[in-house]
Structure 1
Amino acid sequence: MTDINMPDFNGFDVAERARERHPGLPIVFVTALADQVYAPVNEEPFHCFPKPFALQTLVTTVDEMLAGR
């Protein structure tokens, strides 16, 4: 799970580096700018949550991603 907008990196860079080590790793992006963002991560699985988000929604989504659904 990574925020898209960060001071020195962005979430897409973090996801790319993580997937270099772990191909197919599920990625969850969070952002306050969801209406202005597209995810350049062409591999599934990934999901983008706009801030604020409900904790239960995040938990359910992560659970499903880890279960491969």
Structure 2
Amino acid sequence: MTQPNNPLHSKTLEMILNELVDYHGWDQMGYHIRINCFLNNPSIKSSLTFLRKTPWARKKVEDLYLRMIEDLKG
């Protein structure tokens, strides 16, 4: 089943996180989503570990990514 209109389709969590950090930076990530892995000594590795185990936090990251995509479309 293909999902041509779903911007999350074929994106890994790591790809999403890297794009968000490149766009927002860790400080803004922590501002938008108040979780320790973004606020205290953030890294992609520690964030991925937390987000893979925490569905509500992953959903917030995916939602922020979708907002970023909309912002970039202008």
TM-score grouping bracket, smaller chain normalisation: 0.3 to 0.5
Higher normalized strand content (fraction of residues): 1
Higher normalized helix content (fraction of residues): 2
Query: More relative contact order in 1 or in 2 (CA 8 Å, sep 6+)?
Result: 2
TM-score norm. by structure 1 comes to: 0.33
